[in-house]
Amino acid sequence: MKENQGKGFKLERRQFIQSVVGTGLLAGMSLSVPNLVEASDSNNEEKYAMLVDKHQCVGCNACTRVCNDAYDLSYELYRTRIHRFDENSDEYFKKNACLHCNDASCKMACPTGAIYKDGFGLTQIDNSICVNCGYCIANCPFDAIQYDRTRGVNEKCTLCAPLINAGSTPLCYQECPVDAIHFGKKEDMLELGTQKVEELKDQGYDNASLYGDTELGGLSVLGVLAYEPEKYEYPKNPEIPLSLRAWNSIPFAPAFVVIGGAAMVFNFLHTKKTNDEFKKSEEDEE
């Protein structure tokens, strides 16, 4: 019995060494990915933005349909979807999707660097290195990321980045029948949005505002609101949680996540093997 225990110990030690080496490699990968990602932020100086006039939107969901058809999304998953509100017989709508925050909490929360900023400053997900931890979903203030259990990937609006790269425009902008969606250079969209807000105020909408001008460092999807942000289920002053900022400032935070996960796996395997050997020794004694 002692001989078996000795062999078992050597096996566990070998597994532990392999675990440590593997963990080091994974940690190195997780630390290098963000550096590569940050380098891509300045690949393209041109910044684009989408402007959605919530007051002009009629809730037809044409944007939802064209997006679902083009990207072949799983059942009941959406990259963009219209939310309808009805208050005192006043009907208004919100196009819900990723707003591509400049200070993106999902990017800060991601432990592997799977969420990054592309050359246009848009927030994207590389599902090939995503571990589906769910931190991005939990930390998105706009509920704009969904987990696709069927495919094992996270879904969100990319603002049709491949089309922009090809010199085209987002599909929802092309499809909107009432021209409630606008797309172009960010400075132009900011100017147009400010103009539309002033027009709404002239019509008596005193609380009209341009959502996304300053929120979270500026958004790449701006919204013309006729009412207070809260009425559209937007946080009035969205902020990155202090705990998340602190975590993101730790240079080796991704490595801690990987090492912690490896330690948990090793502990589970070690405990299981020990229990199995204990049960086997009891059976031998009987």
Residue 74: DSSP 8-state: P
pLDDT at 272 over 60: no
DSSP structure class, residue 231: G
User: Kindly report the CA angle at 147 between 144 and 228, in degrees rounded to 5?
Assistant: 15
Locus of tokens 């910044």: 47
Domain boundaries, the chain: 31-247
Residue 17's pLDDT band (cuts 50, 70, 90): very low
CATH topology of domain 31-247: Alpha-Beta Plaits (3.30.70)
Question: Residue 41 pLDDT > 70, yes or no?
Answer: no
**How many CA atoms lie within 13 Å of 225's alpha carbon, on the beta-carbon side?**
22
Question: What tens digit of pLDDT does each residue of 164-196 get?
Answer: 999 999 999 999 999 999 999 999 999 999 999
pLDDT band at residue 1, thresholds of 50, 70 and 90?
very low
The half-sphere exposure of 91 on its side-chain side, counting CA atoms within 13 A, is 6
CA distance 235 to 216: 11
Q: Please state, rounded to an integer, the average pLDDT across all residues of the chain.
A: 82
Q: Taking the model in full, what pTM does it have?
A: 0.73
Confidence of residue 245 (pLDDT cuts 50, 70, 90): confident
